[in-house]
Structure 1
Amino acid sequence: MNIPASASPNDPLGRDLVLTDADFERICQLIYQRAGIVLAANKREMVYGRLAKRLRLHGISHFSEYLERLARQPAAREWEAFTNALTTNLTAFFREPHHFPLLAEHVAGRREPVRVWCAAASTGEEPYSIAMTLVEALGPQQASQARIVASDIDTDALAKARTGVYPLKQVLELDEQRVKRFFLRGSGGREGLARVRPELVNMIDFRQINLHAPHWDLGGPFDAIFCRNIMIYFDKTSQARILKRFVPYLKEDGLLFTGHSENFTYLCDDFKLRGQTVYTLAHKPGR
């Protein structure tokens, strides 16, 4: 998107870019329409900090001008950068660790290929944790037939996830056996980094999927869906709609894993709570 430079005075807070109340309100509307993300009033400084990089890149001083140019170019690639900037990516290997033994128990002994959907893959730590769990539960040969769809709306996060490269310090937080089995340490120019072994990468299909979009480009059904710590950014209406849309993508005995701060017991009657932030289908008559 070619945006010419312009000059503007500093805003009242002494910052070099001008973000008015109307600009912030419009940004909140746009990201909700595009991704279903709800931004509270206390996120204003976060919005300024993340989008300021885009304005400076294009030589713009007013958020209003940036937003106007976005509006005039609905197909511009800058929309992708706008969405990426306002997406939060907080993740770690084996985050909320109680879920992974449950997944291993759930798939153990299955003869048909296991399929798992990680619906908020971020920079890849979660889907790679799922892949490690499947290898440990099924054995390398059977796990190689498993397929994990790892999706996210943030294309920058997905690009990092596809590389499978992480700081060695982060990887060494795992137990030593997993580090040796599933990672390759970098050397020379790659010293201080570690790469996920190819056999794990080959189990995962990374793709961009917007949970707020009317269509999801993926198959099903899945043995498990991981949708953790993303619904907290949506309002109740969007949460209920997405949960209902999960139903045909989950096998009748499938598991839905959610985040520690997400409770959907009273939000959707299609699921029932099985354990700590783990749901199963309610199996309503007529399903």
Structure 2
Amino acid sequence: MLAVRNERDLLLTSEDFECVRKLIHARAGISLAPHKTEMVYSRLAKRIRVLGHTRFRDYLSMLQADASHVEWEHFVNALTTNLTSFFREAHHFPLLAAHAKARSAPLKVWTCAASTGEEPYSIAITLAEALGANQRAASILATDIDTRAIEVAQRGIYSMNDVSKMSSERLQRFFLKGTGEREGMVRVQPSLSQNITFRVLNLLDSNWNIDGPLDVIFCRNLMIYFDKPTQARLLERFAGLLREDGLLFAGHSENFSNITQSLRLRSHTVYERALGSSQRPTKVSA
């Protein structure tokens, strides 16, 4: 048995690392690369110290012994990557605006990797600008497996640096500027967040409890953390939730054309439901 970075204060063996990889894959579908040893150590070490363990083995044994242990939440949160920003991959938002304007019925949007909220709020801003007074007809479901990230998203409070690339017009319209202890911070306007529902959701769950059909699904830069079989299963479920003219927005490094036949490429990193794909249910279960 080989120890990994034995000079650390906590013992992490190669067997421990493989156990972490198996547990997070089974729990959240995340496929950790073999070279992520340092990341695993740095992200889990604090929790292990807090609980008084000196070895990763003891911590992992605790998780394996109780599938409902409260520590699972911390384990998943620690190994979830939350890299996001307002209007990231900006070319998607004019397409979203055009799609929203073309619809007569209320727009239903789901962002399944909402992280700390920048993406769903960017969607809400886009829809407010595109639809004007009709924005109230749009609804946005924002989900993430990371409970801490969802809490940040619900608060809607960000630093001025987080919103520094936005125009002054957008800042004045959609954010409240902090004063006193909140100086240097901004808060999302209540009028912007009123149509967003935030909740924790694990994409591996057999029942997402999401009413379809949906007009738009944002699943950007998330599939890269899953293996190909998991990607294929999720894409089939996404297709089942979309309207026939619904759109799936993917990340810049993601290509699904060779993974599923239920979605077809419409434009750069934007997919639509393929004609002849299976009938969509109003709720999706595995």
Shorter-chain TM-score: what band? Answer: over 0.9
Going from structure 1 to structure 2, the CA distance change for 1:218 and 1:286 (only over 3 Å counts) comes to: closer
Paired position in structure 2 for 1:113: 106
- Residue in structure 1 matching 2:38, options 26, 45, 49: 45
Secondary structure in 1 aligned to 2:176? strand
Instruction: Note the alpha carbon deviations across 1:77-130, whole angstroms, 9 max, x for none.
Output: 110110000000000000000000000001104332111000100000000000
- The aligned length equals 277
Any conservation in 1 of the 2:240–2:278 contact (CA below 8 Å)?
no
CA–CA distance in structure 1, aligned partners of residues 219 and 86 of structure 2: 15
The one-letter amino acid paired with 2:71 is: E
Gaps of 5+ in 2: 280-286
- Residue in structure 1 matching 2:223, options 231, 241, 249: 231
Does 2:198 correspond to 1:206? Answer: yes
Secondary structure in 1 aligned to 2:240? helix
- Residue in structure 1 matching 2:153, options 141, 161, 180: 161
CA–CA distance in structure 2, aligned partners of residues 104 and 88 of structure 1: 28
Going from structure 1 to structure 2, the CA distance change for 1:71 and 1:286 (only over 3 Å counts) comes to: closer
Paired position in structure 2 for 1:7: none
Instruction: Note the alpha carbon deviations across 1:211-246, whole angstroms, 9 max, x for none.
Output: 122211221111100000000000010001000011
CA–CA distance in structure 2, aligned partners of residues 12 and 232 of structure 1: 27
Paired position in structure 2 for 1:219: 211
The one-letter amino acid paired with 1:215 is: N
What is the deviation of 1:208? 1.0
| Identical-residue share of aligned pairs (%) | 54
The one-letter amino acid paired with 2:273 is: L
Moved more, 93-102 or 203-212: 203-212
Moved more, 118-127 or 12-21: 12-21
Any conservation in 1 of the 2:239–2:262 contact (CA below 8 Å)?
yes
Does 2:55 correspond to 1:62? Answer: yes
Does 2:171 correspond to 1:197? Answer: no
- Residue in structure 2 matching 1:184, options 162, 176, 187: 176
Does 2:80 correspond to 1:93? Answer: no
What is the deviation of 1:11? 7.0
Paired position in structure 1 for 2:120: 127
The one-letter amino acid paired with 1:32 is: H
- Residue in structure 2 matching 1:14, options 7, 19, 31: 7
- Residue in structure 2 matching 1:137, options 130, 155, 158: 130
Any conservation in 2 of the 1:31–1:38 contact (CA below 8 Å)?
yes
Gaps of 5+ in 1: 1-9
Paired position in structure 2 for 1:74: 67
CA root-mean-square deviation: 1.3
Instruction: Note the alpha carbon deviations across 1:28-49, whole angstroms, 9 max, x for none.
Output: 0000000110001111100000
CA–CA distance in structure 1, aligned partners of residues 277 and 176 of structure 2: 50
CA–CA distance in structure 2, aligned partners of residues 195 and 245 of structure 1: 34
Moved more, 216-225 or 93-102: 216-225
Paired position in structure 2 for 1:173: 165
Paired position in structure 1 for 2:282: none
The one-letter amino acid paired with 2:217 is: I
CA–CA distance in structure 1, aligned partners of residues 198 and 38 of structure 2: 31
Instruction: Note the alpha carbon deviations across 1:145-174, whole angstroms, 9 max, x for none.
Output: 211000100000000000000011211221
CA–CA distance in structure 1, aligned partners of residues 78 and 274 of structure 2: 37
- 5 Å-filtered alignment, 1:259-274, equals 259-274=251-266
Moved over 6 A (4+): none
The one-letter amino acid paired with 1:275 is: S
Does 2:250 correspond to 1:255? Answer: no
TM-score (norm 1): 0.94
